[in-house]
Structure 1
Amino acid sequence: MTVLVVGASGATGRLLVAELLRRGESVTAVVRSPGSLPDSLINQESLSVVQAPILEIDPDELAEYVSGCRAIVSCLGHNLTFKGMYGSPRMLVTDATRRLCEAIRTCRPRDHVKFVLMNTAGNSNRDLDEPLSLGQRFAIGLIRLLVPPHRDNEQAAEYLRTSGSVNGEFIEWAVVRPDTLVDEDRATDYEVHPSPTRSALFNAGKTSRVNVAHFMAELITRDDTWRTWKERMPVIYNKGFSEPGHMAT
């Protein structure tokens, strides 16, 4: 069985592909440009590369890529440029999530397909009573209006959380919420919590991209980790960047 990774050429997506291959998984990577993947990955037999913007892939072709996959991971995001944040497609993550879920349903897999969505700690899990200060609510409201990528992240997670067509017989999901992303050379100790333990706006923690990749690979390859976090929105911090005294779950 194969793991399909979209956004595979991004800073976190590349690390996830490498981690999955290291664990012996077969991976199909959807990228805009294969040149953004290092030769150490491109040359591996267990990796197949699809070069195409995810929203431009024909639905029938997308269903072919999804067929036979036991997991799909979206590491999609918007480039932090004016065009990337305010240009088209504004709802990249949401629209890709919807199209991938539709492709899964088209294939009618025998077993549930895991769908892992990389998101942000600045997005609340509306299934839980996650406390937000008045100032944070006001700031998030402004960000939602002025920064389209944040609204995109929110709506992608909401689609998985609330869509009756997702929460059925073919798809199980988890939304991974890192805090401020940083680059590290290797995976380190990290903590995973059901909800943020600090303000993502006013007292942000740190999460290394390699730790995000490691945790998402754990979700895909370890059944016990998946059982713990499926249909939830875990928040991941590097060790030491969650609130003192708050135990990981």
Structure 2
Amino acid sequence: MKIFIAGATGATGRLLSKSLYAQGHDLNVVVRSAERLPDSLLGQTRVNVTEAALFDLSDAELAQQVRDCDAVALCLGHNLSLKGIYGQPRRLVTEATRRLCAAIRVHSPQKPVKFLLMNTTGNRNRDLAEPISFAQHCVIGLLRLLLPPHPDNEQAAEFLRAQVGQDDAMIEWVAVRPDGLIDAAEVSAYTLHPSPTRSAIFDAGKTSRINVADFMSCLIEDAELWDHWKGQMPVIYNEEA
């Protein structure tokens, strides 16, 4: 398969890129610096690298990037710095989601393209009316006001839920919601749930980035797994010992 990855030099995007390449897929990646890609991807004929900021590409250039792709994976996130959190673009993930979906539609693909969004358990799936406590509701309200990345993640997932929806002929989607992200050297056991089973604010679980990459890779490769989760926002936790 041919797969476009946005955020391929990020902490999770690097792991996803390595996994998909090792499984024999062709990759299209747009990165600010090719030197930040995993060494195993540099100079490979199955990896097409464009050095640019994603938002510097025109609509036509972005459409060319996703042309003939079977899947698009969005692993972008805000840098944990003052500039990354409060600088522009404030709607980094939302705008990337919108533009990539528009780019997919340019080519009127004969079969739906898989769109995978890396999201967060702090975001609720409105289709399931997921309950949260009053205290968590208050905290999330503050996060929306004080931390722009939080509403950005919410709005990106909401775009897929409300604007793309469940029956789109060109795009199928899954928004993967990890809990507190941690680093790990190897894939470990993890559990998947339609909704959070614990409070993202007051009882957060742990999810290793390599497990997120493994799940996203499996979604792309496994048609049965994809059919089970498409149009949903699965929550992923590391399995507790």
Deviations 1:48-69 (A, max 9, x none): 1111111111111111111100
Q: What fraction of aligned residue pairs are identical, expressed as a percent?
A: 54
Task: From the superposition, tell whether residues 228 and 220 of structure 1 become closer, same or farther in structure 2 (CA, over 3 Å).
Answer: same
Contact 1:101 / 1:166 at 8 angstroms: preserved in 2?
no
2:207 is aligned to 207
Distance apart, 1:166 and its partner CA: 8.2
Q: Which residue is 2:35 aligned to? A: 35
Residues 100-249 of structure 1 mapped to structure 2, 5 A cutoff:
100-164=100-164, 167-240=167-240
2:29 partner amino acid: A
CA positional deviation for 1:164: 4.7
SS of the aligned residue for 1:163 comes to helix
Cα distance in 2 between the residues matched to 1:56 and 1:166: 30
2 CA distance for matches of 1:84 and 1:171?
29
Which whole-Å deviations, capped at 9, do the CAs of 1:31-88 have from their partners, x for residues lacking one? Answer: 1211111322213332111111111111111111111000000000000000000000
2:190 and 2:236 in contact (8 A); partners too: yes
Are the equivalent residues in 1 in contact too, given 2:18–2:38 (CA < 8 A)? Answer: no
TM-score normalised per structure 1: 0.94
8 Å contact from structure 1 (residues 72, 115) kept in 2: yes
1:44 equivalent to 2:44? Answer yes
Match of 2:15 in 1: 15
Tell me how far 1:167 sits from its aligned partner: 4.7
- 1:5 and 1:27 in contact (8 A); partners too: yes
The two structures have a TM-score, normalised by structure 2, of 0.97
Q: Distance in 1 between matches of 2:109 and 2:165?
A: 14
Q: Is the 8 A contact 1:4 1:27 kept in 2?
A: yes
Whichever residue aligns with residue 235 of structure 1, its letter is V
Task: Please give the secondary structure, in 1, of the residue aligned with 2:70.
Answer: strand
CA–CA separation in structure 2 for the residues paired with 1:71 and 1:164: 15
Where do 5+ consecutive residues of structure 1 fail to align?
A: 242-249
What is the aligned residue count? 241
| Aligned counterparts of 1:146 and 1:202: Cα–Cα separation in 2 | 18
> 1:69 aligns to what SS in structure 2?
coil
Distance 1:166 1:62 in 2: 24
The CA distance in 2 between the partners of 1:146 and 1:166, in whole Å, is 32
Question: Which residue number corresponds to residue 247 of structure 1?
Answer: none
CA contact (8 A) 1:160 1:167 kept: no
Shift of 1:128: 0.5
- Structure 1 residues 105 and 152, CA gap change in structure 2 (3 angstroms): same
Q: What are structure 2's unaligned runs of at least 5 residues?
A: none
Deviations 1:78-123 (A, max 9, x none): 0000000000011010001000000111111111000000000110
Q: Is the 8 A contact 2:166 2:231 kept in 1?
A: no
Does the 8 A contact of 2:160 with 2:173 survive in 1? yes
